Amino acid sequence: MGQRRGPAVLLLALGHLAGLLAAGPACADAYRGLSDCVLKLGDSMATYEEEEGIELQGLHRVCRYWDEFHTCALTALWECQKEAAAVWETLRRESRKNRFQGSLFDLCSPSMAQSSAWTHVPNVSILSIPLIVTWVNL
């Protein structure tokens, strides 16, 4: 039963996000953009093949895909930040409750990244990327 709870919570949260996005005119295309990000993450993960004995490099690659997903999702949801942040936080909390070993939230968290000698880019910096891209294109 516990294994079925995770996908159910994810579907519920994504359904809630879809309702929020459909409710506001500023969020009209955000759902499509977010789904494109999810598909891109899935494509990246599907083409990934872990080689024997290179577990740490594999983790770096998977976390790079996860980071690319975050950047893509933040860009897609730029105009719906409040609603998206609430749903994202719900997903993060639920993933921790489920104690699913190998959760990307945990594997690619800043504390895990620091232990692997990665640098952590603050969320504010990531959030400013779409703004900078828009400004450059003007």
Using alpha carbons, select from 101, 94, 109, 89 the residue that is nearest to residue 7: 94
Token output for 136: 């450059």
Strands of the chain (E only): list them.
none
Cβ atoms 36, 68 nearer than 8 A:
no
Quote the DSSP letter at residue 52: T
Token output for 16: 């809630």
Domain containing 115 equals 2-137
If you search the block for the tokens 């599907």, which residue do you land on? 46
Over residues 53-95, the pLDDT tens digits come to 455 567 788 889 989 988 888 888 777 777 777 777 777 777 7
Token output for 106: 């945990």
Q: Higher model confidence: residue 35 or residue 130?
A: 35
Q: Higher model confidence: residue 68 or residue 114?
A: 68
Q: How many domains does the chain have?
A: 1
Over residues 4-33, the pLDDT tens digits come to 555 555 555 666 556 655 555 566 677 778
Cβ atoms 110, 120 nearer than 8 A:
yes
Instruction: Establish how many alpha carbons lie within 13 A of residue 101's alpha carbon, considering only the half-sphere containing its beta carbon.
Output: 0
Provide the whole-model pTM. 0.52
Cβ atoms 54, 48 nearer than 8 A:
no
Position 125 confidence tier, pLDDT thresholds 50, 70, 90 = very low
